[in-house]
Each structure stands twice: as structure tokens, then as C-alpha cells.
A and B are shown apart, each in its own frame.
Chain A
Amino acid sequence: MSEEIKETEKSYCVFGIGEREFLIPKESVMQVLDVTRIFPIPGAPDYIVGALPVRGKIIPAVDLAKVYNIERLNYSDNKLLVIDVKGEKIGILSDITPFFVNFESDIVVEDFIDPEKLFEQLKVSSQKPAEKRDDK
């Protein structure tokens, strides 16, 4: 279904966490990966569930459920939505396979995520050396 996108429309990528759905601008989406094994990063905040090695580099995997306090029903079929913010790749866990939608650009979408704001909000700020975290 490759429709031509009208000038006035804007494309978003939809991903889901628990019962909620979020939108993110299509331009910042790099790829969608299957989550095989995520390697935890000790010392990272709890919303960073770990790192996924991709082609010799790691992509940090962020669980927005921890950020927005969303209850999760099941963990199966996790996808990692990889977005690019200022040249940095970040993965966002999605419980559904992300898909694209178009909206008229004057429609104000709810649950819209601004990648740059997300980056600033979630990036790991300098902390005390070897800060302890709850290991559950």
C-alpha cells in the first residue's frame, strides 16, 4: 500500500508499550530489530534495559514502560525500534511490530515523542563512580 504522501501529510511510526501507543516522526526511525538477547549494562538507570550488539556496535535499549510507568501484559514478541538522534542510535522497546501512519500535518497527534527531547530526558548524566542500582 504505497500511497503517495500528500504535501500536507506527515508520516509517523507507531509503536506500542503495554496498552499504549506512541508516535515518533518517521524520519528518525532507522530500523526495527528483533530482540534476541539484550545484555544488561550494570550501573545504567533502570529504564535502560541493556545493550543490543549490532554490527560491531551496541545500541542501548530503552524501556519506556519504566519511564511512563506503564504496566506490561507480556514481554513476548519484543521489537526494538532504532531511532537516530543527532547521529546516535537508540533503541526503544516496542511490544508490537511498529508500523507507519500518515496524518494531516495540522492534526495535533497525541502521545507524540520528540526524539531530541527524549534523548535529552533520558541520556545518562554524569553520576558518581560506580553508582549502585537496584538489581532485581
Chain B
Amino acid sequence: MINKSELIKYFLLEADDCLNVLVEGTEELETKGYNKSTIESLFRATHTLKGSASIVKFNKITMLSHKLEDLFEALLNGEINYDNSLIYHIRNVINLIVALVNEVHEAGEEKSEIEKEVIELIDNILNKKEIPAVQQKSVIFDALPVTDNVRVELKVIENIFASLSEVLVQKNTITDKEKELFHIVEEISNSGKKLLKEITDFSDMYWLSTYERGQKVIDSFFVDFSDLEFDRYDEYHIFLRKIQEITNDITEGINSLFIFSENLSSHFKSLGREINYLKDSLIEIRMIPIGKLLHRLSEAIKENAKDIGKAVEIDIKGAEIKIDKPVFDSLYEPIIHILRNAIQHGIESFEERIKKGKEQTGHIKIDVKKEGKYIVIAIKDDGRGIDIDKVKEIAVQKGLISSEYTSFISEEEILSYIFVPGFSTSDEIDFQSGRGMGLNIVKTAISKLKGTIEVFSELDKETTFIIKIPQSLTISNLLIFSSHNLDFAIPINYIEEILTLEDFPQALEERSINHKNRIIPVKIFSEIFFSLNGKALQKGYIIVFNFSGIRKGLIVDEILGHEEATVHNFGKFLEGLTQYLGYFISGKGSPRYVIDPLKLFEEEFIFTGLSDKITESFIYSGSVLVVDDSISVRKTLQSVLEAKKLRVYTAKDGVEALNLLERNKVDMVVTDLEMPVMHGYELISRLRKDARFKNLPIIVLTSRGTKKHEEKAFELGADGYIVKPFDEKAIEEEILDRLKLL
């Protein structure tokens, strides 16, 4: 439960607003006379005040505002004719409310009693529809409580955010420049040192070599005053001296430059820290405790439940956790949707609950937790749960899953189909125990928040929705990757893991990977965005996304790292580019386009649920690994076998074959004998030594037709022997018939 003092804080903020409206409104009525819109705003203010006071159970304020509300309503409906003398009574009531609010402010509770006459007076007005004469003409308003809060329009904060993101870009640029500066300083200092050394060496030499001459010169100074050598020596001497002095100056200069740049960089660092601090506190300003939303919702839901003859208790944990204002606003819809579903379809009727041995009152637990930069909201009800078989049935009916392989799909994945648009709306009555009702709306809303939603359920016991959303929308956590000299980013929250392409050499060819017993369809980024043939890719990474249980892979060329950034919208001119969520500018000044991963795979989940690729993989009647160093043999055999509905893997030598067998389920191996790296005999003997492949059928397909070769193969453990060139009949007998026996 949200703590009371927090709630009182909100109440006071709200009351402050409402009272302001009331005071201003009455003043306006007094000066300008009757005005419908003024009365309307007064009516709304009293209504809000009543509601918010009732949450914190300030009954007196609730009652007083209720009376006022009735009065304004009567005025609006024309039941009472407006008269300026009403102002007096209204003011009296408002003053009472102000006094009570002041008390709440100071002591946290209502203290004074309400004068009965005031209430009676209003009741009288309402009942008799006439306004009693006023004894006193003017009532001065009591001073409103002074709060130490400042209300700022969200737009103002948004503007600050905009300049902050600019500052962040500048900061990144400065950090880059700083490195450059260090580089330059280092270069100068190195060259300076070299210069100094050269000059010192030179002058040392000079001094030594001229010392004797110098003696002579000094001598000659006395002997021959006009000696040319003396003059030349002197100029040289002075020049050298000057150079030395200059060099010393330069060295000193370089040293102070060095110290200066060190200093500067420490200033940059503290500036960076301050900017980060500023960023965090700004985000904090925009944050609202989630309890404010949950509390409001749970009150409404409890009422709702009562209306349909059910009783629920809602338990909220982690109400103090704060979320960004836009996130807060957009969470309202999805959460109320889930809660409504819970009371309508989840929580059973009294009789049903008793029959099931459950407590009469249903329980809904809302548990909010902070996980790093994410908020995890778990909403759990102890109702009927979701009937997985029914979900499966409907998914099959709707053609989302093909009936042949429903048994292969994990419960988690089946449940995720309830989020597919139009999943259950058509046969609502049939689908009582499940809840598809508009859950795709929930999912869309959560996705817009760059969040994810998952569902877990146990039939007749409970259903849990887990929503994971970023705490703040302004700063996103992004994975940066590059492709064709452009940088792209993708929100990190959908990313489950990153694999290297090298471990899945088949991925480019097959457009799917088999990872952790899941067939995950993959797409190649450069194909989608640059219309290039992705098969040429040598190196790369597979980003595995988890969209509420449905996994998809994306192959990218290079991953640059991870960054936090403010994502800008593309604007109206480019808004049709829906494959992007927006962009941000990197520290280097180049734009990075943020990809919407949902759009990337959209067609698959919205229209078919699953791509044809995986559908195929489930209808193969078996799988064969063809090992041959000749591509034409591999290709011919592959097409022959695929025509027989077989899944065909290919390898060009024994080593590749062994690697493939580690990762894929293979029903049969067809191998050549002569191959590079590892030949067929070795492959056969290795396979036979491995307990896992002891009984795996191995057929030799070779151009060596001699008895000797054949015997050797059987000796090592081969099951069949086909001599090239092969015909369909041999394939049929040796491969297909054998597979049918399996």
C-alpha cells in the first residue's frame, strides 16, 4: 500500500490547485456576474477536490466539497437561479475548506469541526431552491496554505531537456577534442625534447671544440684585435646562446601547456560529472511515483468489481518507485486494461470461487520493482488463469500456428499469441477463461514505451502479466552498430543476447538459427536496409530479440557498443519512415538512426504469427547431412532430397560435418570418401566412436567403386554404399527407405 504521508502530499498539491480555482472563480463571479464556464470550472474543481480528499479519507473536506459540488451542479442545471448573494455562502464554505486544508498541512489531519449551520444553509438552498438573505456582505478569504512546491509546465522541462541533450552532444564532442589536444601536446612535447637534445648536443660539441680556439681567440684578443675569427666566433656564440634560450623557453612553454591541458581535462571531467548530475536530477524532476497512478486505478477497479458482483482486494508494492511523466501517462491505458480483464474474466464469481476452494474475495497483486534503468510491473490475479489449450486451439483456428507442430511450441510462446490483434474478440463468449480482449492494444501501448510485456499463467490458479518499461523515455539505452559507413542504434530492451555469426555458419543460407533448442528466424540488416546480398557477409553478429516470448534474430556487420542517448523524432517530413524510431547525433557529429525492431519483424507477427521458414522446418520428415567437397554434388543431392521433404544440411569436409552435427539434429549422414581436411573414412570412424552417433545411419557416396574401398567403409561402420554417378533409384533405396525405417 502506498504510504499515507505520500498520499497526503499529493492531496495537498491537488487541493492547492482546486482552491486556487475556487477562489479565482468566485472572485470572477462576484466581479463579472454569472458565467456558465466559470461555474463549470468551479464545479470541476470541487469534484476533483472531493475525489482526492476521499482517497485520503478527509471526510470533512469531502463533505464540504460535495455540498459545493451539488450547489454548482444545481446552478448549472438551472435548478437554482444565480444570485450574487450566493457568493457569500460559497465563500464561507471555501473558507472552511481552506482552514481544514491548512490543518492538514500542519498536522496531517483535519481538526476543527464543521459548523452545522453552514451545511444546513447549503442544504436549504438546495432544497428550497432559494437563497436566504445575507447578513454580512463581504467575507475575506483566509490565506491559502503555502507549499514549498513549484509547479512547472511539462513543456518547460522538455525545453530544458532539449538544451541538455544539446549540451550532452557538445560534451561528447569536447571529450573527443580533448583526446586530440592531448595527442597534439604530446607530439609537440616530443618534438620539443628532440629539438632540445639536438641543440644541447650541438652546443656541447661546439663549446668543446671551440674551447681551445677560444683560448686562441682570447689570446688573439690581446694580440690581434681585428681578427675575423673573433668576430665570427662571437656571433656564433650569441646565436647559439639565443637558440638555447629559446629552446629553454619552448620547453618551459611545453611543460606549462602540458600542465594546462591536464588541468583543463580535470575541469572537463568535473563538468561532465555535473552535467550527468544535472541530467539525473532533471529526469528525477519529471518523475512521478507510480503509486499515484496505481492507487487511482485500483480504486476505480474495486468499484468496477463491485458493480459486476465481485469483490477484489488490490495489494500494491513498490508504489514509491518513480517513473517518467510521459511513461506514467501512457501506462494508464494498458494497466487499467489488464486490471479490467482480471476482474471481468480472471476473478471468478463468489460461487465459483467457493467451489474451487478459493477465498471469496479475489486478490490482485501489483508488484513494482526497479531493475537497473527499467521498471518491472508484475500484475498477478488469483483467478481462472488462461487455458493454454484454448489459446492453442484459437491460434490454430486463426492460422497463427499450424496444427501439426503445436506440440513443439513452448507454453510461453503459445501464451504470447494472446497479444496478436483480433485474437479473441470474435468469439468472446467462447473464450471466457482466456483474455485476449484487446490485449494487443496493451502490447502496442507498452511497445510505444519501448517496453515489453509477458504473460504467465496457471489454469484455475493465477495469471501474471509482467510489464518491463524503461524508467525514463527521454534517455534510451541503445545498442550501436554500423553498416555501410552509417551508424544505427536499436533499443536494448528487446535484446536477449548477441551471438557471433561464426558460430552459426548456416544462418545466412537458411535464414534461421537453431539456438537453445529454438528455431529462431533471422534477417540480415544490410539486405533490408541496403538491398544488398547479405550472403556475402564474412563476419557479423546475430542480435536475438525477445518480443514477449517470440524470438527473432537480426544479423548485423559490426557492433560498436552501447550508449545512452536522447532519441529525437524524425519530424513530420520524414515520419513516414516508420522503420525508424528516431535518431540521435553521436559525439562525432554523425547521425545514428534508431531502428524500430518491432517494425523490422512486423509482418511476421501481425499477419502470420510465424514466417513460412519455420513452418517449413516443422514439416520436414527427416534431416540429412550431405558431406562432399564438390559443390555440384552437394547441390544436386540437396535438391533431390529437399524435394522428398527432407531437411538437408551440407558440409564440405569431415570437420565441418562434425561441427554441424554438434548443433543440429541429423537423422542420416551421406558422405564422400575423398575430401580435404578430414576424409570420409576418418569421419565415419570418428562418428562411430562417439556414443551419440553410434547408431546414426551413414551412407557413403563415392566415385570409388572397388570392393576394397567398399569393404573398408563397411568395416569402419558405414551402413550403405552408393557409387557415383548416382541415380534416383539408388537414392531411393539407400537413403529414403532407410529413413522411413527410422
Contacts and interface: CB of A to CB of B under 8 A. Distances in A.
A132 B531 contact: yes
Interface stretch (B366-374, B402-410, B503-511, B599-607): B599-607
Contacts of A37: 590
A89 B590 CA distance: 18
Interface string B580-593: 10010100011101
A2 B568 CA distance: 39
A34 B166 CA distance: 21
Interface in A76-101: 85-86, 88-90
Interface string A56-94: 111010000000000000000000000001101110000
For chain A, give the interface size range: 20 to 34
A93 B166 CA distance: 26
Question: Size band of the B side of the interface?
Answer: 20 to 34
B169 interface: yes
A133 interface: yes
Given A129-B600, A134-B531, A135-B532, A53 B578 contact: no
A57 B585 contact: yes
Nearest to A37: B590
A72 B107 CA distance: 78
Contacts of A135: 530-532
Given A44-B574, A55-B166, A88-B573, A130 B585 contact: no
A129 B577 contact: no
A85 B599 CA distance: 28
B572 interface: yes
B531 A129 contact: no
A41 B574 contact: yes
A41 B577 contact: yes
Given A56-B165, A58-B583, A58-B585, A130 B528 contact: yes
Interface string B222-240: 0000000000000000000
Contacts of A44: 574, 577
Nearest to B162: A56
Nearest to B527: A132
Contacts of B165: 56
B573 A51 contact: no
Interface stretch (A6-14, A20-28, A117-125): A117-125
B531 A39 contact: no
B587 to A, nearest CB: 11
Contact of A56 (B576, B585, B590): B585
A115 B486 CA distance: 30
Interface in B525-576: 528-532, 568, 571-576
B580 to A, nearest CB: 8
A42 B529 contact: yes
B447 interface: no
Contact of A129 (B169, B571, B603): B603
B573 A60 contact: yes
Nearest to B167: A56
B573 A40 contact: no
Contacts of A89: 571
Contact of B577 (A43, A55, A86): A43
B579 interface: yes
Given A55-B166, A56-B169, A57-B585, A39 B590 contact: yes
A122 B531 CA distance: 23
A39 B591 contact: yes
Given A53-B589, A53-B591, A42 B576 contact: no
A135 B572 CA distance: 24
A13 to B, nearest CB: 19
B531 A51 contact: no
A33 to B, nearest CB: 14
Interface of B: 165-166, 169, 486, 528-532, 568, 571-580, 583, 585, 589-591, 593, 599-600, 602-603
29 contacts: A37-B590, A40-B486, A41-B577, A41-B593, A42-B593, A43-B577, A43-B579, A43-B580, A53-B585, A53-B590, A56-B165, A56-B166, A56-B568, A58-B583, A58-B591, A85-B573, A88-B571, A122-B573, A124-B575, A124-B576, A126-B575, A126-B576, A127-B578, A129-B578, A129-B579, A129-B603, A130-B600, A135-B531, A135-B532
Interface of A: 37, 39-44, 48, 51, 53, 55-58, 60, 85-86, 88-90, 119, 122-127, 129-130, 132-135
